[in-house]
Amino acid sequence: MESPSRRDVPAWLLVCCVMVFATLVVGGATRLTHSGLSIVEWQPIVGTLPPLSETDWQSAFAKYQQTPEFRKVNQRMTLVEFKPIFWWEFAHRLLGRSIGMVFLLPFLYFFLQKRIDAKLLLRLSGIFLLGALQGGMGWYMVRSGLVDDPRVSHYRLTAHLGLAFIIFAALFWLALELWTPCRTRSGDRPGLSFLRSCSTWLVSLIFVMALSGSLVAGLHAGLGYNSFPLMHGDFLPPDMFLLEPWFVNFFSNPTAAQFDHRLIAWLLILLLPLFWFRAKATELPSRTRLAVHVLLLVFAAQISLGIATLLLVVPMPLALAHQAGAMLLFAASLWVCHELRCTV
Protein backbone atom coordinates (compact mmCIF):
# COMPACT_ATOMS: atom_id res chain seq x y z
CA MET A 1 0.00 0.00 0.00
CA GLU A 2 1.34 3.43 -0.99
CA SER A 3 2.36 5.75 1.85
CA PRO A 4 0.05 8.80 2.20
CA SER A 5 3.14 11.00 2.45
CA ARG A 6 3.94 10.23 -1.18
CA ARG A 7 0.67 11.89 -2.11
CA ASP A 8 1.57 15.16 -0.40
CA VAL A 9 3.66 16.63 -3.22
CA PRO A 10 1.21 15.94 -6.08
CA ALA A 11 -1.70 17.06 -3.87
CA TRP A 12 0.12 20.36 -3.26
CA LEU A 13 0.66 20.78 -7.01
CA LEU A 14 -3.04 20.12 -7.65
CA VAL A 15 -3.95 22.82 -5.12
CA CYS A 16 -1.73 25.19 -7.10
CA CYS A 17 -3.60 24.13 -10.26
CA VAL A 18 -6.92 25.01 -8.62
CA MET A 19 -5.56 28.42 -7.68
CA VAL A 20 -4.33 29.05 -11.24
CA PHE A 21 -7.81 28.11 -12.44
CA ALA A 22 -9.43 30.50 -9.93
CA THR A 23 -7.08 33.29 -10.99
CA LEU A 24 -8.05 32.70 -14.62
CA VAL A 25 -11.76 33.03 -13.77
CA VAL A 26 -11.23 36.19 -11.69
CA GLY A 27 -9.02 37.57 -14.46
CA GLY A 28 -11.86 36.99 -16.90
CA ALA A 29 -14.26 38.85 -14.60
CA THR A 30 -11.72 41.65 -14.31
CA ARG A 31 -11.60 41.97 -18.09
CA LEU A 32 -15.38 41.75 -18.57
CA THR A 33 -16.04 44.43 -15.94
CA HIS A 34 -13.36 46.68 -17.50
CA SER A 35 -11.47 46.69 -14.21
CA GLY A 36 -7.96 45.81 -15.41
CA LEU A 37 -6.67 49.39 -15.60
CA SER A 38 -7.98 50.52 -12.20
CA ILE A 39 -4.66 49.98 -10.38
CA VAL A 40 -1.97 52.00 -12.12
CA GLU A 41 1.10 50.82 -10.20
CA TRP A 42 2.87 47.49 -9.85
CA GLN A 43 3.88 47.02 -6.22
CA PRO A 44 4.48 43.30 -5.61
CA ILE A 45 4.96 43.74 -1.85
CA VAL A 46 3.26 46.99 -0.79
CA GLY A 47 0.38 46.34 -3.21
CA THR A 48 -0.71 43.37 -1.14
CA LEU A 49 -2.66 45.77 1.08
CA PRO A 50 -5.73 47.55 -0.32
CA PRO A 51 -6.62 51.16 0.58
CA LEU A 52 -7.40 51.18 4.31
CA SER A 53 -8.66 54.72 4.81
CA GLU A 54 -10.64 57.33 2.93
CA THR A 55 -7.38 59.15 2.22
CA ASP A 56 -5.93 55.98 0.67
CA TRP A 57 -9.00 55.60 -1.53
CA GLN A 58 -8.81 59.20 -2.66
CA SER A 59 -5.16 58.72 -3.54
CA ALA A 60 -5.85 55.55 -5.56
CA PHE A 61 -8.73 57.26 -7.36
CA ALA A 62 -6.62 60.33 -8.11
CA LYS A 63 -4.01 58.12 -9.79
CA TYR A 64 -6.71 56.43 -11.85
CA GLN A 65 -8.04 59.83 -12.91
CA GLN A 66 -4.73 60.47 -14.69
CA THR A 67 -5.17 57.43 -16.95
CA PRO A 68 -6.45 57.50 -20.55
CA GLU A 69 -9.34 55.23 -19.53
CA PHE A 70 -10.69 57.80 -17.07
CA ARG A 71 -10.05 60.80 -19.35
CA LYS A 72 -11.56 59.21 -22.48
CA VAL A 73 -14.13 56.72 -21.18
CA ASN A 74 -15.01 57.19 -17.50
CA GLN A 75 -14.84 60.96 -17.04
CA ARG A 76 -17.99 60.95 -14.89
CA MET A 77 -16.97 58.04 -12.67
CA THR A 78 -17.19 58.72 -8.94
CA LEU A 79 -15.16 57.22 -6.12
CA VAL A 80 -18.10 54.97 -5.23
CA GLU A 81 -18.17 53.64 -8.80
CA PHE A 82 -14.39 53.25 -8.84
CA LYS A 83 -14.26 50.92 -5.84
CA PRO A 84 -15.89 47.85 -7.50
CA ILE A 85 -13.48 47.88 -10.45
CA PHE A 86 -10.57 48.37 -8.05
CA TRP A 87 -11.63 45.32 -6.03
CA TRP A 88 -11.81 43.09 -9.12
CA GLU A 89 -8.28 44.00 -10.18
CA PHE A 90 -7.04 43.78 -6.60
CA ALA A 91 -8.55 40.30 -6.21
CA HIS A 92 -6.88 39.16 -9.42
CA ARG A 93 -3.49 40.44 -8.31
CA LEU A 94 -3.90 39.07 -4.80
CA LEU A 95 -4.72 35.62 -6.14
CA GLY A 96 -1.60 35.76 -8.30
CA ARG A 97 0.54 36.66 -5.30
CA SER A 98 -1.15 33.94 -3.23
CA ILE A 99 -0.22 31.32 -5.80
CA GLY A 100 3.41 32.35 -5.35
CA MET A 101 3.22 31.84 -1.60
CA VAL A 102 1.23 28.60 -1.80
CA PHE A 103 3.86 27.29 -4.20
CA LEU A 104 6.98 28.61 -2.45
CA LEU A 105 6.34 27.70 1.21
CA PRO A 106 5.51 23.98 0.67
CA PHE A 107 8.34 23.83 -1.86
CA LEU A 108 10.82 24.96 0.79
CA TYR A 109 9.30 22.56 3.31
CA PHE A 110 9.53 19.54 1.00
CA PHE A 111 13.06 20.55 0.01
CA LEU A 112 14.22 20.78 3.62
CA GLN A 113 12.55 17.43 4.29
CA LYS A 114 14.69 15.99 1.44
CA ARG A 115 11.59 14.87 -0.44
CA ILE A 116 12.61 16.63 -3.65
CA ASP A 117 15.38 15.08 -5.72
CA ALA A 118 17.61 16.96 -8.16
CA LYS A 119 15.42 16.34 -11.21
CA LEU A 120 12.23 17.39 -9.44
CA LEU A 121 14.02 20.42 -7.97
CA LEU A 122 14.94 21.59 -11.47
CA ARG A 123 11.38 21.23 -12.76
CA LEU A 124 9.83 22.95 -9.75
CA SER A 125 12.34 25.79 -9.98
CA GLY A 126 11.39 26.22 -13.63
CA ILE A 127 7.71 26.46 -12.72
CA PHE A 128 8.51 29.07 -10.05
CA LEU A 129 10.41 31.14 -12.61
CA LEU A 130 7.45 30.89 -14.99
CA GLY A 131 5.23 32.21 -12.20
CA ALA A 132 7.56 35.17 -11.64
CA LEU A 133 7.56 35.83 -15.39
CA GLN A 134 3.75 35.74 -15.37
CA GLY A 135 3.66 38.50 -12.77
CA GLY A 136 5.86 40.67 -14.96
CA MET A 137 3.80 39.81 -18.03
CA GLY A 138 0.63 40.86 -16.23
CA TRP A 139 2.05 44.28 -15.49
CA TYR A 140 3.47 44.56 -19.02
CA MET A 141 -0.06 43.91 -20.28
CA VAL A 142 -1.64 46.52 -18.00
CA ARG A 143 0.94 49.14 -18.97
CA SER A 144 -0.17 48.92 -22.60
CA GLY A 145 -3.49 50.50 -21.58
CA LEU A 146 -2.00 53.28 -19.47
CA VAL A 147 -0.28 55.24 -22.24
CA ASP A 148 -2.62 56.56 -24.95
CA ASP A 149 -5.22 53.95 -25.90
CA PRO A 150 -7.39 53.00 -22.87
CA ARG A 151 -7.33 49.25 -23.51
CA VAL A 152 -4.70 46.59 -23.08
CA SER A 153 -2.91 45.12 -26.07
CA HIS A 154 -4.67 41.98 -27.27
CA TYR A 155 -1.25 40.53 -28.07
CA ARG A 156 -0.09 41.00 -24.48
CA LEU A 157 -3.42 39.68 -23.18
CA THR A 158 -2.93 36.54 -25.26
CA ALA A 159 0.65 36.13 -24.04
CA HIS A 160 -0.60 36.54 -20.44
CA LEU A 161 -3.29 33.89 -20.85
CA GLY A 162 -0.99 31.56 -22.79
CA LEU A 163 1.59 31.69 -20.03
CA ALA A 164 -1.14 30.88 -17.48
CA PHE A 165 -2.03 27.77 -19.50
CA ILE A 166 1.63 26.75 -19.71
CA ILE A 167 2.05 27.11 -15.94
CA PHE A 168 -1.14 25.12 -15.38
CA ALA A 169 0.07 22.41 -17.76
CA ALA A 170 3.46 22.16 -16.04
CA LEU A 171 1.85 21.85 -12.61
CA PHE A 172 -0.88 19.44 -13.69
CA TRP A 173 1.39 17.17 -15.72
CA LEU A 174 3.94 16.95 -12.93
CA ALA A 175 1.17 16.17 -10.42
CA LEU A 176 -0.09 13.39 -12.68
CA GLU A 177 3.40 11.94 -13.05
CA LEU A 178 3.95 11.91 -9.30
CA TRP A 179 0.47 10.63 -8.44
CA THR A 180 0.38 7.82 -10.99
CA PRO A 181 3.93 7.02 -12.16
CA CYS A 182 4.08 5.22 -15.48
CA ARG A 183 5.14 1.58 -15.46
CA THR A 184 7.93 0.34 -17.72
CA ARG A 185 6.56 -0.61 -21.11
CA SER A 186 7.04 -4.14 -22.35
CA GLY A 187 5.18 -3.44 -25.58
CA ASP A 188 2.22 -1.50 -26.96
CA ARG A 189 -1.28 -2.74 -27.56
CA PRO A 190 -2.57 -2.45 -31.15
CA GLY A 191 -3.50 1.14 -31.99
CA LEU A 192 -2.04 2.60 -28.81
CA SER A 193 0.84 4.43 -30.48
CA PHE A 194 -1.60 6.15 -32.84
CA LEU A 195 -3.83 7.26 -29.96
CA ARG A 196 -0.81 8.66 -28.10
CA SER A 197 0.19 10.75 -31.11
CA CYS A 198 -3.40 11.95 -31.57
CA SER A 199 -3.71 12.94 -27.91
CA THR A 200 -0.56 15.07 -28.15
CA TRP A 201 -1.92 16.88 -31.20
CA LEU A 202 -5.27 17.40 -29.46
CA VAL A 203 -3.55 19.02 -26.47
CA SER A 204 -1.72 21.36 -28.84
CA LEU A 205 -4.86 22.21 -30.81
CA ILE A 206 -6.88 22.94 -27.66
CA PHE A 207 -4.07 25.22 -26.46
CA VAL A 208 -4.12 27.08 -29.80
CA MET A 209 -7.90 27.38 -29.55
CA ALA A 210 -7.53 28.95 -26.09
CA LEU A 211 -5.05 31.47 -27.52
CA SER A 212 -7.41 32.30 -30.38
CA GLY A 213 -10.17 32.79 -27.81
CA SER A 214 -7.97 35.29 -26.03
CA LEU A 215 -7.58 37.26 -29.27
CA VAL A 216 -11.37 37.21 -29.64
CA ALA A 217 -11.72 38.55 -26.09
CA GLY A 218 -9.02 41.19 -26.49
CA LEU A 219 -10.53 42.48 -29.74
CA HIS A 220 -14.12 42.26 -28.39
CA ALA A 221 -14.82 40.12 -31.45
CA GLY A 222 -17.62 38.24 -29.71
CA LEU A 223 -19.80 41.36 -29.93
CA GLY A 224 -20.14 40.98 -33.70
CA TYR A 225 -21.52 38.23 -35.92
CA ASN A 226 -23.73 36.83 -33.18
CA SER A 227 -25.16 34.03 -35.28
CA PHE A 228 -24.37 30.36 -35.68
CA PRO A 229 -23.37 28.24 -37.54
CA LEU A 230 -22.77 30.88 -40.25
CA MET A 231 -21.56 34.42 -39.66
CA HIS A 232 -24.65 36.44 -40.64
CA GLY A 233 -25.31 34.03 -43.49
CA ASP A 234 -21.71 33.76 -44.69
CA PHE A 235 -19.10 31.12 -44.06
CA LEU A 236 -16.36 33.61 -44.97
CA PRO A 237 -17.46 37.14 -43.95
CA PRO A 238 -16.84 39.97 -46.45
CA ASP A 239 -14.74 42.02 -44.00
CA MET A 240 -12.23 39.25 -43.28
CA PHE A 241 -9.32 40.97 -45.00
CA LEU A 242 -9.71 44.70 -44.42
CA LEU A 243 -6.21 45.19 -42.99
CA GLU A 244 -2.88 45.31 -44.81
CA PRO A 245 -0.77 43.25 -45.06
CA TRP A 246 -3.34 40.45 -45.35
CA PHE A 247 -1.88 38.18 -42.65
CA VAL A 248 -2.35 40.87 -39.97
CA ASN A 249 -6.10 40.26 -40.19
CA PHE A 250 -5.75 36.89 -38.44
CA PHE A 251 -4.41 38.64 -35.34
CA SER A 252 -5.90 42.14 -35.35
CA ASN A 253 -9.16 42.00 -37.30
CA PRO A 254 -12.07 41.12 -34.94
CA THR A 255 -13.97 39.34 -37.72
CA ALA A 256 -10.99 37.22 -38.72
CA ALA A 257 -10.22 36.47 -35.06
CA GLN A 258 -13.74 35.15 -34.51
CA PHE A 259 -13.57 33.16 -37.77
CA ASP A 260 -10.29 31.56 -36.65
CA HIS A 261 -11.78 30.60 -33.30
CA ARG A 262 -14.83 29.08 -34.98
CA LEU A 263 -12.66 27.21 -37.49
CA ILE A 264 -10.59 25.56 -34.74
CA ALA A 265 -13.79 24.65 -32.90
CA TRP A 266 -15.18 23.02 -36.07
CA LEU A 267 -11.92 21.11 -36.48
CA LEU A 268 -12.20 19.79 -32.93
CA ILE A 269 -15.88 18.94 -33.49
CA LEU A 270 -14.65 16.67 -36.27
CA LEU A 271 -11.51 15.27 -34.61
CA LEU A 272 -12.54 14.66 -31.01
CA PRO A 273 -15.46 12.30 -31.73
CA LEU A 274 -13.23 10.41 -34.19
CA PHE A 275 -10.59 10.13 -31.47
CA TRP A 276 -13.26 8.93 -29.02
CA PHE A 277 -14.52 6.26 -31.42
CA ARG A 278 -10.95 5.09 -32.09
CA ALA A 279 -10.24 4.91 -28.34
CA LYS A 280 -13.51 3.05 -27.78
CA ALA A 281 -12.42 0.43 -30.30
CA THR A 282 -9.03 -0.01 -28.61
CA GLU A 283 -8.40 -2.16 -25.56
CA LEU A 284 -7.71 0.35 -22.79
CA PRO A 285 -7.64 0.29 -18.96
CA SER A 286 -10.82 1.54 -17.28
CA ARG A 287 -9.18 4.74 -16.00
CA THR A 288 -7.85 5.63 -19.46
CA ARG A 289 -11.27 4.97 -20.96
CA LEU A 290 -12.85 7.18 -18.29
CA ALA A 291 -10.44 10.01 -19.15
CA VAL A 292 -11.42 9.77 -22.83
CA HIS A 293 -15.14 9.91 -21.94
CA VAL A 294 -14.56 12.94 -19.69
CA LEU A 295 -12.67 14.72 -22.48
CA LEU A 296 -15.57 14.30 -24.91
CA LEU A 297 -18.16 15.42 -22.32
CA VAL A 298 -16.17 18.51 -21.32
CA PHE A 299 -15.69 19.39 -24.98
CA ALA A 300 -19.45 19.09 -25.64
CA ALA A 301 -20.14 21.39 -22.69
CA GLN A 302 -17.49 23.86 -23.83
CA ILE A 303 -18.85 24.03 -27.39
CA SER A 304 -22.37 24.57 -26.02
CA LEU A 305 -21.14 27.38 -23.77
CA GLY A 306 -19.28 29.00 -26.65
CA ILE A 307 -22.33 28.99 -28.92
CA ALA A 308 -24.60 30.31 -26.15
CA THR A 309 -22.10 33.04 -25.26
CA LEU A 310 -21.98 34.14 -28.90
CA LEU A 311 -25.73 34.06 -29.56
CA LEU A 312 -26.53 35.96 -26.34
CA VAL A 313 -23.83 38.60 -27.08
CA VAL A 314 -21.34 37.70 -24.35
CA PRO A 315 -23.25 37.85 -21.04
CA MET A 316 -20.77 37.82 -18.19
CA PRO A 317 -21.81 34.52 -16.50
CA LEU A 318 -21.64 32.57 -19.76
CA ALA A 319 -18.42 34.25 -20.86
CA LEU A 320 -16.77 33.36 -17.55
CA ALA A 321 -18.04 29.78 -17.76
CA HIS A 322 -16.68 29.53 -21.31
CA GLN A 323 -13.26 30.83 -20.22
CA ALA A 324 -13.21 28.42 -17.28
CA GLY A 325 -14.29 25.64 -19.61
CA ALA A 326 -11.25 26.26 -21.81
CA MET A 327 -8.90 25.38 -18.96
CA LEU A 328 -11.01 22.40 -17.89
CA LEU A 329 -10.94 21.09 -21.47
CA PHE A 330 -7.16 21.62 -21.56
CA ALA A 331 -6.83 19.71 -18.27
CA ALA A 332 -8.97 16.85 -19.60
CA SER A 333 -6.81 16.59 -22.72
CA LEU A 334 -3.65 16.51 -20.60
CA TRP A 335 -5.15 13.76 -18.45
CA VAL A 336 -5.96 11.69 -21.53
CA CYS A 337 -2.48 12.25 -22.93
CA HIS A 338 -0.87 11.16 -19.66
CA GLU A 339 -3.08 8.09 -19.30
CA LEU A 340 -2.27 6.94 -22.82
CA ARG A 341 1.45 7.40 -22.23
CA CYS A 342 1.19 5.27 -19.09
CA THR A 343 -0.90 2.55 -20.70
CA VAL A 344 1.08 -0.63 -21.38
Tell me, yes or no, whether 198 and 163 share the same domain.
Answer: no
Residues facing 114 on adjacent strands? none
Number of independent structural domains in the chain: 2
Q: What is the pLDDT of residues 227-265, one digit of tens each?
A: 999 999 999 999 999 999 999 999 999 999 999 999 999
Residues spanned by the domain of 230: 188-344
Tell me, yes or no, whether 121 and 261 share the same domain.
Answer: no
Tell me, yes or no, whether 154 and 220 share the same domain.
Answer: no
Tell me, yes or no, whether 263 and 333 share the same domain.
Answer: yes
Write the DSSP assignment of 68-108 as a string of letters: HHHHHT-TT--HHHHHHHHHHHHHHHHHHHHHHHHHHHHHH
| Contacts of the segment 276-283: beta carbons below 8 A, 24+ positions apart | 278/191, 278/194, 278/195, 278/198, 279/195, 281/191, 282/189, 282/190, 282/191, 282/192, 282/195, 283/189, 283/190
How far from 86 is each of 29, 98, 208, CA to CA, in Å? Answer: 12, 18, 31
Give a three-class secondary structure readout of 113-127. CCCCCHHHHHHHHHH
Q: What is the pLDDT of residues 42-54, one digit of tens each?
A: 887 767 889 999 9
This prediction's pTM: 0.94
Tell me, yes or no, whether 122 and 225 share the same domain.
Answer: no
Shortest CA distance to 202 belongs to which of 127, 298, 286? Answer: 298
pLDDT above 60: residue 217: yes
Classify 109 as helix, strand or coil.
helix
Q: What is the pLDDT of residues 264-316, one digit of tens each?
A: 999 999 999 999 999 999 989 999 999 999 999 999 999 999 999 999 999 99
Supply the mean pLDDT for the chain.
93
pLDDT in the model for residue 187: 58
Tell me, yes or no, whether 140 and 67 share the same domain.
Answer: yes
The angle at the Cα of 176, spanning 181 to 293, to the nearest 5 degrees, equals 110
- Taking the C-alpha atoms of residue 48 and residue 334, their distance in angstroms, rounded to an integer, is 33
